[in-house]
Structure 1
Amino acid sequence: MGGESGSILFSLVSRGAVVLAEQGSEKTEAARAAPRVARRIIEKLSTANNRVTYSQDSHLYHILCENGIIYLTMADESFGRRIPFAFLEDIKSRFSSQYGATASTALAYAYNTEFSRVLRQQMEYYSSNPNADSINKVKSEIAEVKNVMVENIEKVLDRGEKIELLMDKTDRLQGEASRFRGQARKLKNQMWWNKIRNMMLLALIIFLVIYFILALACGPKLKCAG
């Protein structure tokens, strides 16, 4: 797959820390430990819309959050990030179209019987089918992960610190910059209208002064003798 090797070894869908469906592999010790590690991650993860990758030894945990739902997958580090995130986008699309708003109140593992089969099928497809990479190159903007911060997972979990995402910071900065530009435009428009009002007021005052001078000299109807 474009020079990348490895495979997707584990995936889950959750609402916060409530796992709704998951599918794993028994191939390696890391794959067997993935469910436990994944639960520790989602317990600390914000459900704000974002995407992030965490590293643990030679494996990467890729996460996509949207509308309060977390889509997580674990893959070999050598597998890269483009395909795992394309897999997550695919899973997100399938899950949201199949379950929609019901996921916001579903109980733990409510969809596991049905959706774990979908997870398994798509894990196998994205891990072994060369067409998966070809399709995802066409969707490169969707799978773009250059702004995803990769952190050592032990560092996050051992400290127990709140997970802060580079993308969150970027979004906040962009939002603040956008608000600043909007406020600047509003202030500029306000200053322009104030200037126009002041000029109109000054013109009115000058007109009234001239009128009163002429009225005193010629009468209210300005009928001056020739």
Structure 2
Amino acid sequence: MRLAELSERSGIPTATIKYYLREGLLPPGERVSATQAEYGEEHLRRLGLARALIQVGRVPVATARDVLSAIEDEGLDQGSRLSTAVEAVPGGRPSTAGPKEREAARSRVAELRERLGWQQVTTSCGQEALVEAVATLMQLGYPCALEDLLPYARLTGELAVHDVDMIERFAAPTTQLEAAVALTVLYEPVLLGLRRMAHAEESTRRYSGAPDGA
């Protein structure tokens, strides 16, 4: 297919495709003349993943280029490729906690992983985001003991099974990678919204109409 058809089928403007080509996010097409090239289905799949990383996941172009190279490594299995793609998505906000709280938070997260039997992943973006969040909780004096964190961890373990089941609905490995990035980004607001709705429901159930001190 020519560039115009690639643009039409992918839904990505030709100017953006040319930018992706210049930045190395998309491999060159097969030259058919001095000014035209042919593109195949692999280009279409690669475009979908690049769009998921950059437009949905807000991943910087340079990072997206590295991720796209990594997940094309034939030495990686599909699980490693999925992890690489999802890990590229930016995590939580940095904590203002000091070194003491961060060290304590890191120990708390390691203890949590051990209790759950989760494999230690020292380079995990998710783990670092969790450390930052727990460090902030410690700094501000809010509950974040192991027993406070375990219910969240167990529920997210169940959600992870559902997430991967949804990703496996897509047959092509590259499409699974695109879906992994997109669903990571798009379902986090779903989780936040549902949690807040559930809080409102539970607060109403407990306190609505109850007299002070009851």
TM-score (norm 1): 0.28
- Structure (1 or 2) with the greater strand fraction: 1
- Structure (1 or 2) with the greater helix fraction: 2
TM-score (norm 2): 0.29
Higher-Rg member (1/2): 1
